[in-house]
Structure 1
Amino acid sequence: MEQTRKNFPVLSQYVYANTAAAGLLNDNLLEWRQEHDLDFLIGGSTMKTKAMMEYIPKVRETVASFCGSKTENTALVPNFSIGLNMLLEGLPKNHNVLLLKNDYPSVNWPFTSRGFRIFYVDIDEHLEDRIFNTIKENNISVLALSVVQWVNGIKIAPDFLQLLKEEFPDLIIIADGTQFSGTTVFDFESSAIDVLGTSGYKWLLAGYGNGFMLFKDHMMDQFSVKTIGFNSSDIDLNGRDQVRFAKFFEPGHLDTFNFGSLKFSLDYLEGLGMHAIEAQLNTLSQKAKTAFADLGLLEDAVVKRPSHSTIFKIKDDADRFNKLTDEGVVCSQRGGGVRLSFHFYNTEKDVETIVKILKTTI
């Protein structure tokens, strides 16, 4: 992955440990975007109409292929938050919903604002046991969670979700993949997740204004989605009553610039190889976890879990965040600590540089 770094200009200026906030754009995507807008400039509506009719379906197909979902069950949305809110407008209020305490607000707030009966579990080293027991004891019918936690990077065990489905086959599992998609090889159809939504501006490196929602076939019987528009019918005046489920999430025109960026980035990641990306992230995760734990900067919930993502929240003091940023490390303050996050364009040397700086703050 070392040779890819030259395509990301930010990396020549900083140690970028902030993909959990925003993934980097690369030179090749910038070139594609410039060509897209040049075509729009000289082609006007002729270019745009053709792109919307021909290119947007290719985007949908690319997303489905990348995620292992069915094309007809794949919806393009501006971001996860909008997609989830549209979905929940069609979910009956008699469900018992299990959420994770302090999960990303755009996961929890859409449920709490709609009058569902809500239960919570703490995010710690016993997360999976807490989820299982709460579902069993409280007749939970919907589990909604981020696959990877935004603050400290705790990642739900994929095998655990399969176990849940086997034990509670009627449980609806809704997952936010924004901090997950683009970090590992993933096949939606064989997973236990019923609905997966993702924004493309983090680990997919696609910039803002694009995302997607994936649905299993049987979800169409669980939700009565009301959102609709002319685009839902594929611009067919007689098509209102034949709209397929996923198209209810696409009521209006889709921006070929933003969704074209998503397709470009997914093709780029596929070109690098998701197995290679996953291997690089596993290496960085293990190295960072060991180093940060040895410095006593990680919470027990992370240290005691067997595996982890590449998002870490380290303990902060008055100067730690400022020291890192002064030394050219791009990171974020989250949850009372400093959040560091690494993607495939990071190197073990980046981790070593950060560790060296951190040692001066202890």
Structure 2
Amino acid sequence: MQHPEFDLDPGIVYLNHAAVAPWPRRTADAVARFAAENARDGARHYPRWLTVERRLRERLARLIGAAAHDVALLKNTSEAISVVAFGFPWQAGDNVVLAAEEFPSNRIAWQALSRLGVECRVAQLTGAADPEQVLLDLIDHRTRVLAVSSVQYGRGLRMDLERLGAACRARGVALCVDAIQSLGALPFDVNAVQADFVMADGHKWMLGPEGLALLWVRPEWRERLALFQYGWHMTREAGNFDATAWQPADDARRFECGSPNLLGAHGLDASLSLLEEVGIECVAEAVLARGGHLVERIAARPELELLSDPSPHRRSGIVTFRHRGIDNAALHRRLTEAGVVCAARGAGVRFSPHFCTPVEQLDAALAVVPK
């Protein structure tokens, strides 16, 4: 039985929240109301739209344990990582440490720093008994940033961010966390993690539209990041269009160069209202229970190989596996044709159910996988 907050087609099993999530009903309604109001009244009620944007910023801040004025709203995770990577005060010969398994967004921006003389040091996490130590072993006296995902997108490996944060703080290394595969699914606290930079799109576990992401920058770093995007919105004088002198805003708005995505803000605000009503602890309990259910069912079938780490402290909303006798592409195609929405990732097939996914649908999806 579908969750009452969603209107998914009853003919599909949706296990792809790690890619693009379906919107809750309230999100679709909020976007429809915004569109209808715009069509009817144009920007007549723009001040009210900005109230929704402020409320969204507050919701995002609560989600990560931060202050709202430290949260910037950008287009996507890639832009947010680029703001950090190219604003950071590098010197030739510095290096950044990252994992080989990262999604391209958290790899390409760092690799592009090579023209500034910055080296990328890449750790292989797959198969490592202690993935955090593999990352830390690459840090030396020229390491300035450790860039890591809170949860690896391919196989759902959940990283011990508090351990990494403490190690980075002790070594004077900045910690940059791509939290797109955990925010909205698992609890997150920027202070407990001791992160310096955190970014995430809203269209996965936060259940919102594409085109809107958060960037959190620790206040001590805010003015140390050089700006390379400029516009009317990022100044202290935003709204005073006749001002000829300007200064960057004192808060995180300095990273928002132009007009806000207010349609996206209405959608993501509505989605986060649902997550707040359920409570992130309850959401996480449900997500991990569904992941555990999949792990148990997959491990019980000898023809299947579980690729995700089954350890409870490593689990997330992502479970990846492969069939010992069927090509991944063929298996993914078979699932897709049967109405199971999932992804081919991490050298296998990736299932990513959310708190709202009926448990019986997990068994229905696995029943499509041949024995």
TM over 0.5: yes
Q: CA deviation at 1:325?
A: 2.1
Whether the aligned pair in 1 keeps the contact of 2:231 and 2:257 (CA below 8 Å) is: yes
Q: CA deviation at 1:11?
A: 5.1
What are the ranges of 5 or more consecutive residues in structure 2 without an aligned counterpart? none
- Which digits, 9 at most, give the CA deviation of each residue in 1:178-229, with x for residues without a partner? 1110012222233221111010000000111111101111112542223221
Whether the aligned pair in 1 keeps the contact of 2:24 and 2:271 (CA below 8 Å) is: no
Look up the match of 2:338.
327
Look up the match of 1:158.
161
Q: CA deviation at 1:18?
A: 0.8
2-side partners of 1:144 and 1:134: how far apart?
Answer: 12
2-side partners of 1:68 and 1:249: how far apart?
Answer: 20
* Aligned pairs (5 A) from 1:1-362: 5-10=3-8, 12-47=10-45, 49-94=46-91, 95-115=94-114, 116-124=118-126, 125=128, 126-135=130-139, 137=140, 139-165=142-168, 167-168=170-171, 170-233=172-235, 234-236=238-240, 237=243, 240-296=246-302, 297-298=304-305, 302-303=309-310, 306-316=313-323, 317-318=326-327, 319-358=330-369, 361-362=370-371
Q: CA deviation at 1:45?
A: 2.5
Give aligned-pair identity as a percent: 20
Which range moves more in the overlay, 309-318 or 269-278? 309-318
1-side partners of 2:279 and 2:309: how far apart?
Answer: 28
- Which digits, 9 at most, give the CA deviation of each residue in 1:242-261, with x for residues without a partner? 52252222111102111121
Q: For residue 182 of structure 2, what is the amino acid of its counterpart?
A: F
1-side partners of 2:76 and 2:123: how far apart?
Answer: 26
1-side partners of 2:357 and 2:135: how far apart?
Answer: 33
Q: Give secondary structure in 2 for the equivalent of 1:76.
A: strand
- Which digits, 9 at most, give the CA deviation of each residue in 1:68-98, with x for residues without a partner? 1111211001111112212222113323100
- Which digits, 9 at most, give the CA deviation of each residue in 1:145-165, with x for residues without a partner? 111111111110233224324
CA pair 51-252 structure 1, distance change in 2 beyond 3 A: farther
What are the ranges of 5 or more consecutive residues in structure 1 without an aligned counterpart? none
Q: CA deviation at 1:343?
A: 0.5
Q: Give secondary structure in 2 for the equivalent of 1:270.
A: helix
Whether the aligned pair in 2 keeps the contact of 1:51 and 1:256 (CA below 8 Å) is: no
Whether the aligned pair in 2 keeps the contact of 1:140 and 1:171 (CA below 8 Å) is: yes
- Which digits, 9 at most, give the CA deviation of each residue in 1:290-348, with x for residues without a partner? 22233353456624675311212211523422332233211111243211111011132
- Superposed CA RMSD: 2.2
Whether the aligned pair in 2 keeps the contact of 1:161 and 1:193 (CA below 8 Å) is: no
Q: Give secondary structure in 2 for the equivalent of 1:97.
A: strand
Q: Give secondary structure in 2 for the equivalent of 1:99.
A: strand
Q: Give secondary structure in 2 for the equivalent of 1:207.
A: coil
Whether the aligned pair in 1 keeps the contact of 2:307 and 2:322 (CA below 8 Å) is: no
Q: CA deviation at 1:19?
A: 0.8
**Going by fraction, where is helix more abundant, 1 or 2?**
1
Which range moves more in the overlay, 246-255 or 198-207? 246-255
Q: For residue 335 of structure 2, what is the amino acid of its counterpart?
A: L
Whether the aligned pair in 1 keeps the contact of 2:308 and 2:320 (CA below 8 Å) is: no
How many residues get paired? 355
Q: For residue 314 of structure 1, what is the amino acid of its counterpart?
A: F
Q: Give secondary structure in 2 for the equivalent of 1:23.
A: coil
Q: CA deviation at 1:60?
A: 1.6
2-side partners of 1:274 and 1:53: how far apart?
Answer: 26
Q: Give secondary structure in 2 for the equivalent of 1:63.
A: helix
